[in-house]
């Protein structure tokens, strides 16, 4: 049973939070002010200009849904910074695609797409390092539990180091088994192996970045995550130009660029952590307690299986495309890049749901949780509509930015309109994902993913592989997103209806 936080503890939490203000603003403190409006504690930090929050209120008026100003303002600020941070990732991926797509030989683009599948398996599988860390840290912030707030960081860093050692030790058998299962032509597979052999050396930095990003997000310090991703992706773009365009390293150049960008991002994150203002002793004995790790493994097990299923969907989608030829593989990889771009935009709001949802749950604010759900869905559909307007206004122009091969452009244009249901249904699923991650409900996420994969996606994708019809393949992706949205919506409603 969650109980209200006493005013004394609340005051101590506020005082600690004020010491951790960064230049972007005290978002955790603003959340606490919303959670306890009776508090007479005045803010001493100066107001910091932010991106105008009027976009969401206007959209709320259109839909007939209104939200408390404090919740809307906090949500909008977090969303804005998260979006800026998230968009650097797919934009960099689009730059990679554009540089490889404009080379004379298309096999480098297709090979990098195959190689990226293996890294999707690795990094998405260990995505719990960020997701669980965010939810648990946010709930600790909401409770005012400083020992747990820093203890989660220590525990997840140790998990990240262990995961990095595991990946590097098994890189060769994993690479050989992965390419043995994928259906690429010999030249495409060779390019994919070059990409893999280079990018794998960025794995330790990438996994530790997951941990630090999750911890910063749990403390509602999205500005630090923005700085990390901007550094990583600007470096990636610069190294891509040097390695691919100037030195002619092709797919291997793209892999080295990504790896080096991740190491620079990790260095930036460590500087941000060391320079934080709230330098207080950490209770190491509590942080390293065995019972803390046991609970962590139980949470991460379900999330790990769920993530493997999710990655398998996108990996099989690319593999089915490869069975239909190099042009089909290249075209569908470009369309998936466009889908991922929309997902990263919408995930900016989903990450805000993780941060605020965890804090609200830690505080025991049931009404705040319900308002956050409504605000999240409105925001997700708004950004989905925005992406589709951009994509469908001039699809051939957009596709032409990513490749100069006319046959790939025409092939992709035939299926570009499948992005409509994928993005719309996906936006709803992403919002519920963020909420349930913030509430640390991995078993709910696993059940939803299992139903969506085995009962919906696999039968239709198998029909596509049997018939050679790519429309069935895209239909399987669209209905997969719909199934995720529907099952998570039911689970969220049940969770909010439970007595606390």
Q: Note the pLDDT tens digit of each residue in 369-380.
A: 999 999 999 999
Give residue 92's pLDDT: 64
More confident residue, 69 or 117: 117
Rounded Cα distance between 53 and 275, Å, is 29
Place of tokens 């998936």: 336
Output the six-digit token pair for 454. 């085995």
Beta strands in 44-100 (DSSP E): none
- 169, with CB counted inside 10 A (0-12, 13-18, 19+), is exposed
pLDDT band at 500 (very low <50, low <70, confident <90, very high): low
The Cα–Cα gap between 383 and 381 comes to 6
Please tell me the distance from the alpha carbon of residue 380 to that of residue 395, in angstroms, as a whole number. 22
Neighbours of 415 (CB within 10 A): 16
Predicted pLDDT at 424: 97
Q: Which of 473, 129, 453 is nearest to 309 (CA)?
A: 453
The confidence score (pLDDT) of residue 194 equals 94
Using CA atoms, how far residue 195 sits from 174, 182, 279, in Å, is 14, 15, 41
Which residues, including other chains, have CB under 8 Å from residue 245's CB and lie 6 or more apart?
99
Domain-wise residue ranges, the chain? 62-497
* Band (231; pLDDT cuts 50, 70, 90): very high
Most confident of 45-49, 73-77, 222-226, 418-422: 418-422
Task: Select from 31, 9, 10, 63 the least CA-distant residue to 438.
Answer: 31
Q: Is 104 helix (H, G, I), strand (E, B) or coil?
A: coil
pLDDT confidence of residue 127: 81
Q: With bands split at pLDDT 50, 70 and 90, how would you rate the model's confidence at 280?
A: low
Q: Is the pLDDT of residue 21 over 90?
A: no
Q: Does residue 103 surpass a pLDDT of 90?
A: no
Examine the pLDDT at 261 and tell me if it is beyond 80: yes
Q: Is 432 helix (H, G, I), strand (E, B) or coil?
A: helix
Predicted confidence band of residue 95 (pLDDT cuts 50, 70, 90): confident
294-304 per-position pLDDT tens digit: 777 777 788 88
Confidence of residue 17 (pLDDT cuts 50, 70, 90): very low
Q: In this predicted structure, what is the pLDDT of residue 50? A: 37
Mean pLDDT of 70-74: 77
CB 184 within 8 A of CB 101: no
* Per-residue model confidence as pLDDT tens digits over 443-466: 999 999 999 999 999 999 989 888
pLDDT above 50 for 57: no
User: CA–CA separation, 289 vs 296, rounded Å?
Assistant: 11
- Tell me how crowded residue 2 is: count the other CB atoms within 10 A of its CB: 13
Distance of CA 405 to the CA centre of its chain: 30
Angle at 453 between CA 452 and CA 458, to 5 degrees: 125
- In order of 71, 309, 317, 481, the CA distances from 476 in angstroms are 37, 15, 9, 9
Nearest Cα residue to 7 out of 33, 27, 36, 31: 36
- Give the span between the Cα atoms of 313 and 487, in whole angstroms: 17
- The structure tokens 């001039």 sit at 394
pLDDT of residue 86: 67
Per-residue b or e along 323-342, where b marks 16 or more CB atoms closer than 10 Å to that residue's CB: ebebbbbbbbbbbbbbbbbb
- Span 63-72, mean pLDDT? 58
CB-based contacts of 265, cutoff 8 Å, min separation 6:
205, 209, 228, 229, 231, 232, 235
For residue 39, the SS3 value is coil
Predicted pLDDT of residue 497: 87
At residue 277, the pLDDT reads 58
Looking at the chain, the number of H-run helices and the number of E-run strands are 22, 0
Contact (CB, 8 A) for 93 and 66: no
480 within 8 A of 457, measured Cβ to Cβ: yes
Amino acid 204: pLDDT: 95
Alpha carbons 156 and 148: distance in angstroms, whole number: 12
Q: Cα(124)–Cα(128) distance, rounded to whole angstroms? A: 8
pLDDT band, very low/low/confident/very high, at 52 (cuts 50, 70, 90): very low
pLDDT of residue 197: 95
302: its two tokens: 């379900």
Which range (159-163, 322-326, 484-488) has the least confidence?
322-326
Average pLDDT, the chain: 81
Q: State if pTM tops 0.75.
A: no
């Amino acid at each position: 049973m969650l109980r209200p936080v006493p005013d004394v503890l609340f005051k101590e939490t506020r005082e600690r939070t004020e010491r951790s203000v960064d230049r972007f603003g005290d978002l955790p403190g603003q959340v606490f002010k919303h959670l306890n409006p009776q508090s007479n504690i005045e803010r001493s930090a100066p107001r910091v200009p932010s991106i105008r929050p009027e976009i969401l209120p206007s959209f709320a008026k259109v839909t007939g849904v209104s939200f408390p100003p404090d919740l809307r303002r906090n949500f909008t600020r977090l969303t804005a910074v998260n979006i800026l941070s998230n968009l650097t990732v797919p934009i960099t991926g689009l730059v990679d695609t554009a540089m490889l797509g404009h080379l004379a030989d298309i096999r480098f683009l297709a090979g990098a797409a195959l190689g990226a599948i293996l890294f999707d398996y690795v990094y998405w599988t260990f995505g719990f390092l960020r997701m669980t860390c965010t939810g648990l840290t946010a709930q600790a912030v909401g409770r005012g539990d400083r020992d747990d707030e820093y203890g989660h960081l220590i525990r997840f860093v140790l998990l990240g180091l262990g995961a990095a050692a595991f990946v590097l030790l098994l890189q060769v058998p994993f690479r050989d088994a992965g390419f043995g299962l994928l259906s690429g032509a010999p030249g495409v597979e060779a390019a994919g192996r070059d990409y893999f052999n280079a990018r794998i050396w960025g794995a330790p930095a990438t996994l530790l970045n997951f941990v630090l990003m999750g911890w910063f997000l749990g403390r509602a310090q999205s500005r630090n995550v923005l700085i990390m991703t901007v550094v990583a992706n600007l470096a990636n773009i610069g190294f891509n130009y040097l390695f691919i365009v100037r030195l002619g390293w092709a797919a291997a150049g793209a892999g080295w660029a990504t790896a080096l960008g991740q190491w620079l991002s990790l260095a930036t994150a460590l500087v941000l952590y060391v320079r934080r203002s709230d330098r207080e002793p950490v209770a190491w004995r509590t942080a390293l307690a065995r019972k803390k790790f046991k609970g962590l493994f139980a949470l991460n097990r379900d999330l790990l299986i769920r993530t493997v299923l999710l990655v398998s969907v996108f990996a099989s989608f690319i593999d089915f495309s490869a069975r239909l030829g190099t042009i089909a593989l290249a075209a569908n990889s470009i369309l998936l890049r466009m889908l991922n771009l929309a997902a990263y935009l919408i995930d900016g709001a989903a990450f805000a749901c993780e941060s605020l949802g965890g804090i609200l749950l830690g505080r025991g604010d049931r009404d705040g949780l319900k308002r956050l759900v409504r605000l999240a869905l409105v925001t997700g559909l708004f950004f989905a509509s925005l992406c589709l307007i951009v994509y469908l206004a001039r699809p051939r122009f957009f596709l032409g930015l990513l490749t100069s091969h006319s046959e790939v452009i025409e092939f992709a244009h035939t299926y570009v309109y499948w992005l409509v249901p994928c993005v719309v249904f996906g936006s709803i699923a992403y919002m519920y994902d963020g909420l349930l991650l913030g509430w640390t409900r991995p078993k709910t996420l696993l059940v939803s993913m299992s139903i969506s994969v085995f009962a919906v996606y696999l039968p239709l994708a198998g029909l596509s592989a049997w018939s050679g019809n790519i429309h069935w393949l895209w239909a399987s992706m669209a209905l997969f997103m719909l199934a995720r949205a529907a099952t998570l919506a039911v689970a969220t409603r049940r969770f909010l209806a439970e007595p606390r």
